[in-house]
Amino acid sequence: MKFISSGHQADHSGADAEREVWKRLKSAFGPDDVGVAYHRYPIVDRTAGEFDREMDFLLFLRDAGAVVVECKGYQIDHVRAIEGDKWLLRGISQSSAAPYSQARDQGFKLLSHFTKEPSLMDDRANHKVSMNPVVALPNISREEWEARGFHEGPSSPPVLLADDLSPTALRDRIRELPGSKLTNGEYETARAVLSGGQPISGDRSPKLKDGSTKGGLYERVEKGLNKLDEKQEEVGLQIPDGPQQIRGIAGSGKTVLMAKKAARMHAAHPDWDIALTFQTRSLYDTITEKVRRYYAFFTSGDAEPDWDRFHVLHGWGGKQRHGLYYRIAQEAGVTPRTYYDAKGKFDETDGNLLHSCCLEVLESGTVQESYDAILIDEAQDFDPGFYKLCRAALRPPKRLVWAYDEAQNLQTLTAPSPTNVFGTDEAGDPVVDLSGAYEGGVQKSRIMRKAYRTPRSVLMLAHVLGMGLVRDGGAVQAITTKEGWENVGYEVRSGDFRKYGEPVELARPTEHSPHPLGDVDAATPFVRFESFDDENAEIEWVADQVAADVLDRDLAPEDVLVVTLGAYHRSKQAGESLAEELEARDVDPNLVWEGNKDVFAEPGAVTVSRINRAKGNQAAMVYVLGVEHVEDDSRRADLVQRRNEAFVGVTRTEAWCTMTGVGDEPIFEEIEDIVRQVSWFDPGVTFPAPHPDDLEREMDDGSEATTIDQFAD
């Protein structure tokens, strides 16, 4: 039995009763029971009173279906009479309540989600999942209840009284409820629904494309990610009572979790002012749509979020669309700076313009506490000043949640800990302490090891290439501890990182890369490399492949992305040349630098982008052009940047990636070596354990780290 609590501490009169019932549920059901129990499952009744908006407890058991429990802390003298669904009360703030109908209505809202899954409905359109509402009254004994006659008559509600809360009695009472067992397959489908998978699983209609084509195979990806794992489910559900960091490998679903968590907060607390912010401007529509879907899921309806209370904001913003920094600066009485204004004011060589702008607001203005929660996606793209500004703009308990990618896009030798970012107080204690958990059980720091978006072989290539682990000249950056690699979902098969120069073998277990096409032979290979004598040949070949993807392999044009590496003018020129070749093949190109900065992919057009705009976006088929530029600068510090750019380009894919280059460069042999090692059915990569002193940057296990990076236009 899995137990998942929202963690947010209720402060109403029934909170103690809820804690008691939750403790009793944990005692009654154990690891042999197939099911899950939720405290505060977020199916929200927007018409209910302030403290009855979401179900107190939901038990979902394979052998008993759904049990919705409404918990009340009433003493027997508080209940004057029960008239149908209405309970008449005295001696407390409420004069009446309808706890049973509240649980029943929430249960029906829950069942409406199961309706969308054909396997959970029978031939007569009846639900296969049983639903039983009950009322828990832990402060009333059966003797007291029956002495008042509340157990008699047709309106007598099913209740769990104090006598029913011993482990044996509680199990028996739940099993006595009417209903039928689910098959294992039906149970797993229902659990996928409960996990919050529906808002990210797309259309559940039958597959429309030939399953042997890339387009048909990609449908499996679009429709296959229909379930969040237990850790994702828990992180997305919980509301922390203070700051929280979410560390995760690329493709581990952090953006989905941030959208889910933010929408869950908004549904449960519509009076809160919430901001969800990010760095990549083209994510506006993607994030907004995810929030909209999750809000509809939690409220069981089509209602829009209250966009006056819920704000999707770019971190900095632009002339046409103001960002979070802009709003906080204005409220603080400081004139917000544009990017070009900031370049004129601050040292443009430090690459930390937003950081400097945020510090200016903190030092010159009076930051207003205008938000109840701020969630930062793509946190690795922000510097400490932005974190501090966000925290200053929060009302107590300073509910700042940030999510960032592990092992990518790190620009500094040592990733700053929360103490380095937020500092210490007058007593010398950290301003932000991420150790341990809050009272409700929410851990202050979470690690997401599973990568769903990118196939295992592609992700392994990206990490090994991005760090230069098999590079002839040695690694340029690396994780140098067994624990650090485990934190991003790898296992060390052999070797010891303390024995510098000795071989170490890394592997990535399939359970940490559960891609929908992972065991589909027809989908392989997921990664390949091609080299050419000159750039014209490279561009023509890529244009031929893209045209085949769209015209022959059944991929939608917008599901194909081409990323051009190299310096600004070179990469832009390559993209423009490719666009001409695509047009000659009757394929429409979308040069993203020519369009709206808030839009990335356009329907009916193949996306062509430089690396700075590709960040945060994905496609089924990705081509990374110009990999010879990864080592075209003699300055070692730039090798880190170039390797990071290659990593970002490769990990944009949700299925396939092809890398191309011009000439006969040493890095080509490196890439081919990696491709060979990661393309086996049980891949492993071997490299010499690097000495920290030989690295441009050492990545530790990040146990208290945030990560900093920027790709400037």
DSSP 556-607: -GGGEEEEE-SSHHHHHHHHHHHHHHHHHTT--EEEGGGS-TT----TTSEE
Residue 710, domain member (yes or no)? no
CA distance 499 to 691: 9
Whether residues 408 and 474 fall in one domain: no
Whether residues 460 and 377 fall in one domain: no
Residue 219, domain member (yes or no)? no
The pLDDT of residue 412 is above 50: no
Residue 202, domain member (yes or no)? no
The residue from 389, 419, 448 where one domain ends is 448
pLDDT (0 to 100) of residue 46: 57
The strand pairing partners of 238, in sequence order, are none
pLDDT (0 to 100) of residue 615: 83
CB burial of 597-609 (b: ≥16 within 10 Å; e: otherwise) equals beebbbeebbbbb
Lowest mean pLDDT among 254-268, 414-428, 675-689: 414-428
User: What secondary structure, in 3-state letters, does 613-677 show?
Assistant: HHCCCCEEEEEEECHHHHHCCCCHHHHHHHHHHHHHHHCCEEEEEEEEEECCCHHHHHHHHHHHH
Residue 338, domain member (yes or no)? yes
pLDDT (0 to 100) of residue 624: 98
pLDDT (0 to 100) of residue 74: 96
Read off the DSSP letter of residue 512: G
CA distance 25 to 113: 25
Query: Does a cis peptide bond (omega within 30 degrees of 0) precede residue 397?
Result: yes
CA distance 296 to 304: 7
Give the domain CATH number at 505.
Answer: 3.40.50.300
- Pair 392, 362: CB distance under 8 Å: yes
Render pLDDT for 564-585 as a digit per residue (tens, 0 to 9): 999 999 999 999 999 999 999 9
Residue 225 burial (C-beta neighbours within 10 Å; 0-12, 13-18, 19+)? buried
pTM greater than 0.85 = no
Whether residues 133 and 28 fall in one domain: yes
Whether residues 625 and 494 fall in one domain: yes
The pLDDT of residue 707 is above 90: no
Query: In which domain, by residue range, is 39 found?
Result: 2-194
pLDDT (0 to 100) of residue 349: 52
Lowest mean pLDDT among 19-33, 214-228, 278-292, 450-464: 214-228
The pLDDT of residue 305 is above 90: yes
Average pLDDT over residues 448-457: 87
Whether residues 70 and 177 fall in one domain: yes
Whether residues 45 and 144 fall in one domain: yes
Structure token pair of residue 155: 């309106």
The residue from 423, 448, 473 where one domain ends is 448
The pLDDT of residue 45 is above 80: no
Listed in sequence order, the residues at least 6 apart from 258 whose beta carbon sits closer than 8 Å to its beta carbon are: 246, 276, 287, 375, 377, 401, 403
User: What secondary structure, in 3-state letters, does 384-441 show?
Assistant: HHHHHHHHHCEEEEEEEEEEEEECCCCCCCCCCCHHHHHCECCCCCECCCCCCECCCC
Average pLDDT over residues 277-292: 90
Per the model's pLDDT, the better-predicted residue between 408 and 281 turns out to be 281
User: For residue 365, how far is the Cα from the chain centroid?
Assistant: 34
Average pLDDT over residues 66-95: 94
Whether residues 265 and 302 fall in one domain: yes
pLDDT (0 to 100) of residue 407: 52
Lowest mean pLDDT among 152-156, 207-211, 251-255, 558-562: 207-211
What is the three-class DSSP state of 232? helix
Mean per-residue pLDDT of the chain: 88
Whether residues 6 and 62 fall in one domain: yes
Whether residues 157 and 141 fall in one domain: yes
Q: Half-sphere exposure (CA, 13 Å, Cβ side) for 199?
A: 32
pLDDT band at 344 (very low <50, low <70, confident <90, very high): confident
Q: How many structural domains compose the chain?
A: 3
Whether residues 272 and 348 fall in one domain: yes
Whether residues 496 and 358 fall in one domain: no
